[in-house]
A and B are shown apart, each in its own frame.
Chain A
Amino acid sequence: MTTAVLNSRKITQQTAFMFLALATVITVTPVLFIIIYTVVQGGGAISWDFISQFPSQAGKAGGIFPAIIGTFYLMLGTLISALPVGVLAGIYLTEYARDNWLTRLVNLAIVNLAGVPSIVFGLFGLSVFVLAFNFGLSLLSASLTLAAQALAMVITTSREALLAVPREYREGSLAVGVTKWQTVRHIVLPQAMPGIITGAVLAISRAAGETAPILVVGAAFLLPALPNSPFDQFMALPYHLYTTAAHIPNMPKQTIWGIALMLLIVVLSFDILAAAIRIRTRRRKHL
């Protein structure tokens, strides 16, 4: 090969690298910008009083304690409702369901479920959980509504995690006269668990940031007390943020950004939790 050809190939390669790097920078910049901007704008609002006190003067003063607690309850309720059902459905679809048109249709439906606009889930929750099941405007209705939305992601990530378990492990287990269920229970599930947990926690953290669905199934702007039971109404960070930013005149900007920062912290801490679980189980697995 001549040097000219070699040089031109080198230039092509470097150009390609440059564009790929540029694309990465373009992707990362908005994320970094949002985080930094939120911290700069809202950092000053964060104080012990802000996170530990009830709001006063329509949210202009006081803290956002009940909204933090409400969001926490909501995530817990969503996790409890979505994780077991989602994982079990994932196991069934991956390990047991025959590969026929019905299974493929169900899989397609689940994937598309993730694309349904969240306000539609809200209306679904309103008509099914709030009205038909008579759970009322409540934490329970909201958790179930968010769970319905999170299910798609929980099932999809569970399926992927289960499918990623090597065939050799399954065969090795079946080849010593162990049943299918024992194989799933003792070989496949432990292997897939980190992936399943990660997917579930990410789904929950996404649900925590949702505003539209909870708007119609039980979130309230201001409540005098924390919810006492799953049938009570609740406050939540995204809804509190929406209302203070959109409907309260003369709202201090710093407080609005402070709420946004708290919401980011809650959501990101769950993402970090997911990563920690994954790293921990992976390390333990290899002893």
Chain B
Amino acid sequence: MNINISVPDIAQRPVEQCATKINAVNVNLFYGAFQALRNISLDIPSCAITAIIGPSGCGKSSLLRLFNRMNDLIPGARVEGNVELDGIPIYEPKIDVVELRKRVGMVFQKPNPFPMSVFENVAYGPKRHSIKGRGRLEETVEKSLRQAALWDEVKDKLGQSGLALSGGQQQRLCIARVLAVEPEVILMDEPCSALDPVATLKIEDLMRSLSGEYTIIIVTHNMQQAARVSDTTAFMMMEADRAGTLVEYGPTARLFTNPKDKRTEDYITGRFG
């Protein structure tokens, strides 16, 4: 297998011109006594795709879950430092976590449609956010499914169980479910790792088409994928005590062709990991 990383010739936007959407400064994350993340600082540009790559266990998912406070669900999790969304610190006590997660949606590694119909899956969020009336719901569902490039495949079986769809369709259904609540940021935690190559490509195309409107952050252990879809890339590693740190962060094209850090170079050329 060819392990050379080719940076595709997609005209990648100059991310320097994008406003900062999420901003983390000196963030430490602990699970009880164990430190999962050490001293992470980075600016995530708005309306672009940021990839987080690195070897297994380096804290990629922990970093991602920092941005919608999903780590809160883990007993004993504790965050130090500052994380801001549009300049507002999200770990302040007065922050409404539910409202935050509405703005920062998440797609998981394993497609997790609810055991209900395709329609109900997408309508789930809007319904809970008190969008009433069949007409408005239908409108939202169709719009979200179209955005998720799933409408044509499911428009005749909206009443069928979401679990009856293929793996790739299920994952796009989960993306539609997130889009339906009109988030600003979409976090994706290895969204293609359970999918076949064709389904993976569809999700990647979808990500590119969404990236104009949404800030997307994707965790992936697939470097080709990071190179193909992202505008900026963060490379993480774990230190001797297994705490994850940010090694290098920059525009994807630059990071893959001209890494500044020796460890980044070793990783992307396949010398370890």
A interface residues, Cβ below 8 angstroms from B:
98-99, 166, 168-169, 171-179, 182, 186-187, 191, 285-287
Contacts and interface: CB of A to CB of B under 8 A. Distances in A.
13 contacts: A171-B73, A174-B70, A175-B105, A175-B108, A176-B102, A176-B105, A176-B178, A176-B181, A178-B124, A178-B125, A285-B115, A287-B159, A287-B161
Contacts of A171: 70, 73, 106, 108, 112
B21 interface: no
B99 A286 contact: no
Contacts, number: 76
Interface of B: 68, 70, 73, 75, 98-103, 105-108, 110, 112-115, 117, 124-125, 128-129, 159-161, 163-164, 174, 177-178, 180-181, 183
B117 A175 contact: no
Contact of B115 (A174, A178, A286): A286
Contact of A175 (B68, B113, B160): B68
Contact of A186 (B112, B124, B178): B124
Contact of A177 (B75, B129, B164): B129
A179 B103 CA distance: 14
Nearest to B159: A287
Contact of B112 (A99, A172, A182, A191): A172
A169 B174 CA distance: 11
Contact of A172 (B114, B117, B129): B114
A278 B101 CA distance: 34
B160 A168 contact: no
Given A174-B101, A175-B70, 10 more contacts: A99-B75, A168-B112, A171-B106, A173-B114, A173-B124, A175-B101, A177-B102, A178-B124, A182-B128, A286-B115
Nearest to A179: B98
Contacts of B68: 175
B225 to A, nearest CB: 21
A199 to B, nearest CB: 20
A176 B177 contact: yes
A287 B129 CA distance: 25
Given A168-B112, A169-B112, A171-B73, A177 B181 contact: yes
A186 B106 CA distance: 19
A144 B105 CA distance: 47
Contacts of A186: 124, 128
Given A168-B108, A168-B110, A176 B101 contact: yes
Contacts of A286: 115, 161, 163
A17 B107 CA distance: 46
Nearest to B180: A176
Contacts of A287: 117, 159-161, 164
Given A99-B75, A168-B110, A287-B160, A176 B115 contact: no
B160 A178 contact: no
A176 B100 CA distance: 9
A176 B73 contact: no
